[in-house]
């Protein structure tokens, strides 16, 4: 990770130096456009640490606002001398250049896609505020700001759900489970989920290298405490065994040492995770009384689904 950051910092420094050299060599008439390009890159560089130190949503919202103001300012100051469309293009190119890795590895950069899109969106909003001379421009600003607030408070979480679990909300259309779902408990006895028809079954999948999984354990415990005396609900924390790293007793020891009491099962079959479309950890599955998969998502969203299933079963 640090090696990657080191190369990234070196790359950014070289990029800035290259831009400075090119700027000095440009004819005077082209220097304003070069400045706009460099400013666009620098803004993106300066606000990007917000992704790691605050959140992607913070970086998205701050960048959206800055690029609206910056674009509007540049167009107001230079729009009479330079084509506004050329200014628009050069600002967009600056953001695209600093995010050039997206063109080569699109899938692994999807987590930050809303962030970049709203920065570009900010440029287009600033451009619209400059071009639209009627009061309608304020409607554009209000509507786009509301959209940004939606993404900040809810939309980005929906986007992460889609990336991590395949659905925006975790809700599934009653997927039939055709394969055997069996795990082992602390006594090495087999627990077959297929034999639990008639109950609502919650399975929280995690592994010993997953830091986020550990941070979710208090939420898992809280959910377990709520339903542990409900005979209609079976609740299990399922550890995916990492061959070559884990010992058979590690998962049980980890949970016990941290003071949690939810039941733990072990899964050693990676093919089973593939069949259940589990692509990352932690992932929670909920199976209804008919043995159908009805939820794939985050532990923080399970309460509503379980209550809904309990009402259906009354």
Question: What pLDDT is stored for residue 3 in this prediction?
Answer: 46
Above 90 in pLDDT, residue 213?
Answer: yes
pLDDT, mean of residues 176-194: 88
Distance set, CA 202 to CA 176, 192, 195, 233 (Å):
16, 13, 14, 8
Query: What does the pLDDT read at residue 24?
Result: 67
pLDDT digit string (tens) for 160-169?
A: 989 888 888 8
Query: Could you give the residue ranges of the DSSP H alpha helices within the chain?
Result: 2-25, 31-47, 50-53, 56-78, 84-98, 101-104, 113-131, 136-150, 156-165, 211-227, 250-257, 270-275, 302-313
Task: Give CA–CA dist 64/102, Å, rounded.
Answer: 19
Per-residue pLDDT reduced to its tens digit, 231-271: 999 999 999 999 888 888 899 999 999 999 999 999 999 99
What's the confidence (pLDDT) of residue 314? Answer: 60
| Mean pLDDT, residues 182-206 taken together | 92
Question: In this structure, what token pair is assigned to residue 313?
Answer: 């079963």
* Residue 119 pLDDT: 96
Flag whether pLDDT at 113 surpasses 70.
Answer: yes
For 142, counting Cβ atoms within 10 Å of its Cβ (0-12 exposed, 13-18 middle, 19+ buried), the class is exposed
Of 235, 216, 199, nearest to 280 (Cα)? 216
pLDDT for 208: 93
Q: Regarding predicted confidence, which is higher, 1 or 31?
A: 31
- If one looks up domain 171-313 in CATH, what number appears? 3.40.30.10
The stretch 73-90 carries a mean pLDDT of 90
Domain boundaries, the chain: 2-165, 171-313
Stated pTM of the model: 0.78
For residue 41, what pLDDT is reported?
87
- The whole-number average pLDDT for the span 14-19 is 68
At residue 1, the pLDDT reads: 40
Q: What is the mean pLDDT of residues 204-225?
A: 95
Mean of all residue pLDDT scores within the chain: 88
Strands, sheet with 171-176, edge to edge from the N-terminal-most edge strand: 171-176, 292-297, 283-287, 200-206, 233-240, 264-267, 182-184, 190-192
**Lookup result for tokens 């540049």:** 74
- pLDDT exceeds 90 at position 116: yes
């Amino acid at each position: 990770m640090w090696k990657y950051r080191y190369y990234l910092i070196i790359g950014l420094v070289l990029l800035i130096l290259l831009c400075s050299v090119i700027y000095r060599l440009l004819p005077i008439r082209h220097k304003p456009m070069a400045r706009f390009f460099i400013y666009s890159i620098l803004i993106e560089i300066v606000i990007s640490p917000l992704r790691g130190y605050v959140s992607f949503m913070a970086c998205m919202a701050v960048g959206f606002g800055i690029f609206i103001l910056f674009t509007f300012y540049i167009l107001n100051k230079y729009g009479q001398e330079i084509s506004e469309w050329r200014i628009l293009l050069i600002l967009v190119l600056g953001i695209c250049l600093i995010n050039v890795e997206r063109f080569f590895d699109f899938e692994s950069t999807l987590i930050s896609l809303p962030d970049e899109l709203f920065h570009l969106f900010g440029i287009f909003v600033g451009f619209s505020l400059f071009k639209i001379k009627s009061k309608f421009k304020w409607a554009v600003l209000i509507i786009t700001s509301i959209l940004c607030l939606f993404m900040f408070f809810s939309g980005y979480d929906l986007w992460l759900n889609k990336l991590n679990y395949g659905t925006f909300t975790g809700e599934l259309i009653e997927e039939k489970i055709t394969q055997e779902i069996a795990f082992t408990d602390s006594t090495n006895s087999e627990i077959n989920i297929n034999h639990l028809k008639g109950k609502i079954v919650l399975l929280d999948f995690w592994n010993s290298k997953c830091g986020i999984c550990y941070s979710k354990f208090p939420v898992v415990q809280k959910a377990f405490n709520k339903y542990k005396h409900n005979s209609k609900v079976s609740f299990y924390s399922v550890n995916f065994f990492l061959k070559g790293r884990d010992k058979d007793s590690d998962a049980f020891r980890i949970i016990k040492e941290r003071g949690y009491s939810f039941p733990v099962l072990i899964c050693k079959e990676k093919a089973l995770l593939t069949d259940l479309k589990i692509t990352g950890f932690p992932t929670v599955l909920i199976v209804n009384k008919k043995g159908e998969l009805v939820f794939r998502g985050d532990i923080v969203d399970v309460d509503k689904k379980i209550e809904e299933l309990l009402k259906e079963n009354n």
